[in-house]
Amino acid sequence: MNVVTRFAPSPTGSLHIGGARTALFNMLFARHHNGKFLLRIEDTDKKRSTDKAINIILRDLEWLDLRWDKEPVYQSNNYHRHREIVDKLIKEDKAYKCYATKDELDDLRQKQINEGIPYRYDGRWRNKEQSSAPINIKPVIRLKSPLEGQTIIKDMVQGEVKVDNKELDDMILLRSDGTPTFMLAVVVDDHDMGITHIIRGDDHLTNAFRQKVIFDALNWPHPKFCHVPLIHGPDGKKLSKRHDAVGADIYRKLGYLPEAIRNYLLRLGWSHGNDEIISDKEAIEWFDVKGLGKSSAKFDKTKLTSLNAHYIKQKNNYEILELILPMIEKNSGATVDGVSREMLLEGMNSLKNRSKTLSDIADQSLVYVNKLPLNFSDKAKQILNSENKLLLSKINRHFNDLSEWTAPNIENWIKTYCDKNNSKLGNIAQPIRAAITGSTQSPPIFEVMAIFGKKEVTLRINQAINS
């Protein structure tokens, strides 16, 4: 079998992190079996679907490197095909026109609520003569669902699941305005796209029963279903906006690496022994539905952040620099020049080791970007009192005695000075940090001094003394 999977988002907002996991699972399953991974934009709901949301979803999928094969399919373009299938079902007496009004259906719903039974359409137009149809009402088209027996799905994760057909009413295929419903459009598009496997959240399991009924009515083989438990928040409830960041775009802006997110999402509901760090190559080689569990996975931002820190440390310094430059320039409002780039590259290992996100690196990188005259933070100003300015003046005069301006030499010289003057290292290092960075926090200060160079350090200390 040539495996074909799909990811089919509705463009009503940004890409949910759970949707990103669904796309990842579908892509990996297809790649594992040397098949195809397709993308379908389910944009038939024109009131809620927007071009902006489509563009955001496409951008976030590309950023996560969840690459699909072939051009995306836009469901709204298949309108005539959906109508064609409905006409076919009507001709075969497998679907019918229903003229029940909203008021009628509201009354039916209330009656069933009063009787304590779930709402189901009662099939009142299923066998009526169309000659009795009112002329002032546009009908919907309903499927003649089976009235007896069971609909059975052999799910690749959930096992065999079934429902009594008496619990499935005659679902609407075509609305009164002629637009297809989600159930119909999904079945037709999955068939026409040659989808062999549907991997999605288990909140779609009830939809699968209805979709199988449509497949059966059309005498089409249905794809194999694989319904994966949803991602939950730390409170055990379905991951949603109340759990803070749930959109992939938020993690992009916060400075997470796509490879870290892919690795983390892969391990949410799927396992391969005790492996935690899994490369893309390994993911494709190892992924199969057998590793998917039946229990919901809890989203743990702390674990994701820790994993992100690991990938940051592994990433090439030049790549990191290109990723953080837009963040730095946005935060500083200045263009990063060639000198600052060189200093950033020289200090990148320390920056990476101290950081968990690209945003962390960008924030700490400002020390190499900010030019004289510096703007001192309130805490730095407190440290740069008259006593410490006098101390800085003494130290600054002796820096010329250092023949090799390296971080170890600077540190050793400062320690020797402390010993001679019966002082603690922090009492000298912190005023130096405040003077040359304008802050009380920075990468290792002796490394910063070495990267700046003796001349720049001297200039910065002089400015601090005279401020």
Query: Which residues have a catalytic role annotated?
Result: 241
- Using CA atoms, how far apart are residues 255 and 23, in angstroms rounded to an integer? 21
| Secondary structure of residue 146 in the 3-state scheme | coil
- Using CA atoms, how far apart are residues 210 and 8, in angstroms rounded to an integer? 18
Q: What b/e string do you get for 109-130 counting C-beta neighbours within 10 Å, with b at 16 or more?
A: eeeeeeeeeeeebebebeeeee
Paired with 226 in beta bridges are 199
- Using CA atoms, how far apart are residues 199 and 23, in angstroms rounded to an integer? 9
The answer to whether the CB of 301 falls within 8 A of the CB of 245 is: yes
Residues with Cβ within 8 Å of 333's Cβ and at least 6 positions away in sequence, in order, are none
Residues with Cβ within 8 Å of 63's Cβ and at least 6 positions away in sequence, in order, are 248, 252, 258
What is the CA angle 222-226-227, rounded to 5? 120
What is the CA angle 253-258-260, rounded to 5? 110
